[in-house]
Amino acid sequence: MAVRVSAEDFDASAEMEKLCAGDTRIGGIAMFVGKVRGDVQGEALTSMTLEHYPGMTEAELARIEAEARERFRLSGSLIVHRVGELTPGDNIVLVAACAPHRQDAFRGAEFLMDYLKTRAPFWKKETLANGTSRWVDARESDEAAASAWQERST
Amino acid sequence: MTDSIAATEVTLRYFAWLRERAGVSEERLALPSGVQTVGDLLRWQAGRGHPFDQAFAMPEAIRVALDHAHAKASAPIGAAREIAFFPPVTGG
* pLDDT tens digit sequence for A30-62: 999 999 999 998 999 999 999 999 999 999 999
Q: Is residue B4 part of a domain?
A: no
- B15 CB within 8 Å of a chain A CB: yes
Residue in B68, B70, B87 closest to A123 by CB = B87
CA distance to partner chain A, nearest, from residue B43 (Å):
23
Residue in A117, A120, A123 closest to B15 by CB = A123
Q: Is B86 helix (H, G, I), strand (E, B) or coil?
A: strand
Given a cut of 70, whether residue B3 has pLDDT beyond it is no
Given a cut of 90, whether residue A79 has pLDDT beyond it is yes
| Whether A122 and B89 lie within 8 Å, measured CB to CB | yes
| pLDDT tier, B5 (very low <50, low <70, confident <90, very high otherwise) | low
Of residues B6 and B28, the one with the higher pLDDT is B28
Rg (CA), chain A: 16
Judge if the upstream peptide bond of residue B87 is cis by omega within 30 degrees of 0: no
Q: Is residue B2 part of a domain?
A: no
- CATH of residue B29: 3.10.20.30
Q: What is the 3-state secondary structure (H, E, C) of A58-112?
A: HHHHHHHHHHHHHHHCCCEEEEEEECEEECCCCEEEEEEEEECCHHHHHHHHHHH
Q: Is residue B64 part of a domain?
A: yes
Q: Is residue B91 part of a domain?
A: no
Which positions ≥6 away from B24 have C-beta within 8 Å? B14
Domains, chain A, ranges and CATH? Answer: 2-151 (3.90.1170.40)
Total domains in chain B come to 1
Q: Which residues of A29-49 are buried (b: 16+ CB within 10 A; e: fewer)?
A: bbbbebebeeeeeeeebbbbe
Q: Is residue B58 part of a domain?
A: yes
Q: What is the pLDDT of residue A1?
A: 75
For the stretch B26-55, pLDDT in tens is 999 999 999 999 999 999 999 999 999 999
Q: What is the mean pLDDT of chain A?
A: 96
Q: Which residues of A touch B17 (CB under 8 A)?
A: 123, 135
Q: What is the pLDDT of residue A154?
A: 63
Q: Is residue B46 part of a domain?
A: yes
| Cβ atoms within 10 Å of B70's Cβ, excluding its own | 17
- B72 CB within 8 Å of a chain A CB: no
Q: What is the pLDDT of residue B1?
A: 44
Question: In which domain, by residue range, is B41 found?
Answer: 9-86
| pLDDT tier, A6 (very low <50, low <70, confident <90, very high otherwise) | very high
